[in-house]
């Protein structure tokens, strides 16, 4: 079993929809949780960062962490075609993020 599980999709939604992306993990030592966005044929870019449990909001994006369930989510409100990309969750047990563990990535397509 992988340490971090993420449904690879693909996920296709109409423009304006609310998108929910999720990851589950098995290592209870993880405390630092990130979401990266990767456009086709590009390197990943950090989208959201959360420490421990709770919610964090940034514009149309909300990241949630539920450590009791070992479950993290990324919500995208009012989705746009420009949100079409692969979204990777990543997590670490240490603030020195040398050993980030990534999920498989979920490919999202937002149709106009």
Partner 1 sequence: NAGVTQTPKFQVLKTGQSMTLQCAQDMNHNSMYWYRQDPGMGLRLIYYSASEGTTDKGEVPNGYNVSRLNKREFSLRLESAAPSQTSVYFCASSAGYEQYFGPGTRLTVT
For partner 1, the binding residue among 60, 73, 100, 109 (CB under 8 A) is 100
With contact defined as beta carbons under 8 Å apart, do 4 and 100 qualify?
A: no
Q: Give the nearest distance from C-beta 72 to partner 1 in angstroms.
A: 14
Q: What are the strands of the beta sheet with 19-25, ordered from one edge?
A: 4-6, 19-25, 71-76, 61-66, 54-58
1 binds partner 1 (CB under 8 A): no
DSSP-derived 3-state class of residue 97: helix
For partner 1, the binding residue among 17, 46, 74, 109 (CB under 8 A) is 46
For partner 1, the binding residue among 18, 26, 42, 81 (CB under 8 A) is 42
For partner 1, the binding residue among 4, 63, 74, 85 (CB under 8 A) is 4
With tokens 């979920």, the residue in question is 106
Q: Is 8 left (phi over 0), alpha (psi -120 to 50) or beta?
A: alpha
Site residues for partner 1 per CB under 8 A? 4, 6, 8, 32, 34, 41-46, 49, 88, 90, 92, 95-100, 102-105
């Amino acid at each position: 079993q992988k340490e971090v599980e993420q449904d690879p999709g693909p996920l296709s939604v109409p423009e304006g929809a609310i998108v929910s992306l999720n990851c589950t993990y098995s290592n209870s030592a993880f405390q630092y949780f990130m979401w990266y966005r990767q456009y086709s044929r590009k390197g990943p870019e950090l989208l959201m960062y959360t420490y421990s449990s709770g919610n964090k909001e940034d514009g149309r994006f909300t990241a949630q962490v539920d450590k009791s369930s070992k479950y993290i989510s990324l919500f995208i409100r009012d989705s746009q075609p420009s949100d079409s990309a692969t979204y990777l969750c990543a997590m670490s047990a240490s603030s020195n993020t040398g050993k980030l563990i990534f999920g498989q990535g979920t490919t999202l397509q937002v149709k106009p």
